[in-house]
Structure 1
Amino acid sequence: MSERSRTPAEDPLSGRPLTSHERQAGEPWDASYHDGPAPWDIGGPQPAIVRLAAEGAITGTVLDAGCGSGDNALHVASLGLKVLGVDVAVTALEIARGKARERGIEAEFAAADALRLETLGRQFETVLDCGLFHAFDDKERLEYVAGLASVTAPGGTLYVLCFGDHGQEPGPHPVSREELRAAFGLGWDVIAIEPDLVQTRQQPDGAPAWLATIKRA
């Protein structure tokens, strides 16, 4: 039996179907946090998120979709904003809650499937996606964007930071500007898609990325 055929179809902890990335990796997202920091866990917030926050671009109630171990959410919460970070990786959420306690920062973290964001039953003025969009295949992106539509308040802003297909040494699953724009159709206004960087443990100086600013109609 091949390794691929032995890959489970569901997350053993939650029973949710594994995403295309998880099936390719052969393990659920939570496993990335079992033996030390995940590859995308740089020990602090992404510089792009810090910059957006410093510019006053992150306002109102905030959702961090795919928050991981919480550094982006905690940075935003430290500025006095009300933040909910969601992820399917329960180990990452435990780490995030521990960081919040240690730093004395008030932030909420909850287990939730990014492909079923409508189950949150809440809306947010700002939604952050830092390194999640590029991990989904075309079908999953349709589900994801539909969920984003349900949680982004009318007039609210979504920021997507994802690996881009430009520059040298792109990260895994690079996305083109055209793919990113095409994912957000009716009900969305793509304001800008600008070159940026995503830092990882393997690429501490940053991998080529896009930072998209998208408004909810």
Structure 2
Amino acid sequence: MTETTEVWNSAYDNDTAPWIIGEPQPAIVALERGGRLRGRILDPGAGAGEHTIALTALGYDVLGVDLSPSAVAYARRNAAAKDVPAARFEVADMVALADSPDNALGIFDTVVDSALFHVFLEDDGARAAYVRALHRLCKPGGCVHVLALSDTEPGFGPRIGADLIRDSFIGPGWEVEDIRPDRYYGRITRANADQVGDLVVDASGKVELAAWLARIRRME
């Protein structure tokens, strides 16, 4: 079962979220520079809002959503501090959206999932609902990009295999175009200090972790 809203709120309220590094993930920056992000963009599980803020500053039409009200409040403060007041954030439950009678968020050309998909590692039902929500929110021909922690190296957090990504998007309506190794950056906090082991922490306090970067096409 995935964590409750209260657990996510606590990570932001007490500054123990290992995924807050004060900047976008390099893998997502590389997607933008490579021309992979187009049209209206959804940033699900936006967290501290780094990707929504960075993409908004570059002129993209992007919406960041998160289950946690504390995350959304944090992201809005972060956007103000970085002088990107146009960055937009809303509280939304991506799992619940799968079966919601309406679609208040609208339709998107691109979805950028940075470290949300893997939180459903041990919750098959929630993961399936999340994939259904993505299908509902992403327009035909659009792309879902997933950056998820990989189980190929030691690390912390819910680490997954490439097969879990591929198998989750099998079926009508999806085409998995690419899954490749990449890197994800986190930080050490009191919430994960006991999981660090032999991981290397750089001078800025960041830890480099193995990840998957997947590109999935929403078909008709």
Q: Given the two structures, how large is their TM-score scaled by the length of structure 1?
A: 0.84
> In the alignment, which residue of structure 2 is the partner of 1:6?
none
- Please report how far the alpha carbon of residue 153 of structure 1 lies from its aligned counterpart in structure 2 after TM superposition: 0.8
Structural RMSD (CA) = 1.7
Q: Distance in 2 between matches of 1:176 and 1:121?
A: 30
Q: Is 1:172 the equivalent of 2:152?
A: no
Aligned residues: 195
Q: Is 1:157 the equivalent of 2:143?
A: yes
Q: Distance in 1 between matches of 2:180 and 2:156?
A: 16
> In the alignment, which residue of structure 1 is the partner of 2:67?
88
Partner of 1:104, secondary structure, is coil
> In the alignment, which residue of structure 1 is the partner of 2:111?
127
Q: Match of 1:113, as an amino acid?
A: D
Q: Distance in 2 between matches of 1:61 and 1:117?
A: 18
The 1:144–1:70 alpha-carbon spacing in structure 2 relative to 1, beyond 3 Å, is: same
> In the alignment, which residue of structure 2 is the partner of 1:58?
37
The partner residue of 2:50 within 67, 71, 78 is 71
> In the alignment, which residue of structure 1 is the partner of 2:191?
none
Name the structure, 1 or 2, with higher relative contact order (CA <8 Å, separation 6+).
Answer: 2
Q: Percent identity?
A: 38
Q: Match of 2:216, as an amino acid?
A: I
- Please report how far the alpha carbon of residue 125 of structure 1 lies from its aligned counterpart in structure 2 after TM superposition: 0.5
Unaligned stretches of 5+ residues in structure 1: 1-19
Q: Match of 2:89, as an amino acid?
A: F
Query: Retained in 2: the 8 A contact 1:164–1:171?
Result: no
> In the alignment, which residue of structure 2 is the partner of 1:212?
214
**Larger displacement relative to structure 2 (98-107 or 48-57):** 98-107
After the TM superposition, which residues 171-190 of structure 1 pair with which residues of structure 2 at under 5 Å, given as runs? 171-185=156-170, 186-190=172-176
**Larger displacement relative to structure 2 (170-179 or 44-53):** 170-179
> In the alignment, which residue of structure 2 is the partner of 1:5?
none
> In the alignment, which residue of structure 1 is the partner of 2:79?
100
Q: Distance in 1 between matches of 2:6 and 2:87?
A: 28
Flag as ranges the 4+ runs of structure 1 deviating above 6 A: none
Partner of 1:193, secondary structure, is strand
Partner of 2:157, secondary structure, is coil
- Please report how far the alpha carbon of residue 27 of structure 1 lies from its aligned counterpart in structure 2 after TM superposition: 4.7
- Please report how far the alpha carbon of residue 120 of structure 1 lies from its aligned counterpart in structure 2 after TM superposition: 2.9
> In the alignment, which residue of structure 2 is the partner of 1:113?
93
Unaligned stretches of 5+ residues in structure 2: 189-200
> In the alignment, which residue of structure 2 is the partner of 1:22?
3
Q: Deviations over 1:161-204 (max 9, x none)?
A: 001111x3133221111111000022011000000111110362
Q: Distance in 2 between matches of 1:99 and 1:172?
A: 24
